Copies of this chain bind each other. A is one copy, B any other.
Amino acid sequence: MRALQHPDVANIPLSAVLNALADPVRLRIVAELARSGGIACQQFDVPVSMSTLSHHLKVLREAGVLRVTPQGSYRTHELRQEEMERRFPGVLESITRAAGAREVLGGSRRPST
């Protein structure tokens, strides 16, 4: 399996990172990655098909948010947390933390009382 392209985080505007993160499924993906480190594609707990998941992972990779590494016949995904932290201090960390608090993701979740 060939290696995928990863943009230089230094060239990515903040608006592009926020745009990639501005989606409930992608927020759930980054929250899972923040919790657990490297994850193989089929292990994400998101309510979408594999092809939709692949699309979301591609959007996050192209925005510099995550790194994909081929591991034999599958790929692992991990956040580019340190590089993002250097470029946009606190941004990815606070967003993954907020996304990890289930109630903020919206959709069918109950508001806190």
- Report how many residues on chain A are interfacial, defined by Cβ distance under 8 Å: 31
Residues of B within 8 A of A105 (CB): 13-15
- Whether a CB of chain B sits under 8 angstroms from the CB of A6 is no
> A71-113: contact bitstring with B at CB < 8 Å (1 yes, 0 no)?
0000000000000000111110111011100001111000110
Residues of B within 8 A of A99 (CB): 14
- Whether a CB of chain B sits under 8 angstroms from the CB of A54 is no
Contact status B16-A19, CB under 8 Å: no
Contact status B15-A22, CB under 8 Å: yes
Q: Which A residues are closer than 8 A to B by beta carbons?
A: 10-16, 18-19, 21-24, 27, 87-91, 93-95, 97-99, 104-107, 111-112
